[in-house]
Structure 1
Amino acid sequence: AHVTFKWLWKTKCTPKIKVFGWFLLSDRLNTRNMLKRRHYNIGTNLDCLLCELHIEETVEHLFFHCTFSKECWCL
């Protein structure tokens, strides 16, 4: 296993946060991009629902570029 995963599971945070971190690092979060890749019927609109811009909802967008998420991180 990668050293990041070992570090994640040894941290003292709650299991809920550990599992979320594991999903994030393993590219398993159910973003609209991921659901399309897994052939879920979500339609053709892959735009971010949080910032309502015409930008595809990916993990990178949600955590680093989305204006809504940036405001939440700054609180």
Structure 2
Amino acid sequence: LRHGEPGFLFRAGDADALAAAIDELLARRQRWPEIRQRARRFVEVERTWATSVARYREVYRRALARCDRSPSI
């Protein structure tokens, strides 16, 4: 994700950064339809079950491979 495409990023726990992102979004009111359309397209393409499972499959595969190499207790 990049700031402004399709959303607005801010550091977790940083209220000032969140406020700045909200201010930026409010200042771009005329672009809300475009921002909304890009965000929807992002979710429809990048956040499907198929893409999510594919990403996690590799994470689990690596985690299980590490477990296989760990010494037994």
Please give the TM-score of this superposition, normalised by the length of structure 1. Answer: 0.24
Q: Higher helix fraction: Structure 1 or Structure 2?
A: 2
- Structure with higher strand content: 2
**Higher relative contact order structure (alpha carbons within 8 Å, sequence separation ≥ 6):** 2
TM-score by length of 2: 0.24
Radius of gyration: which is bigger? 2
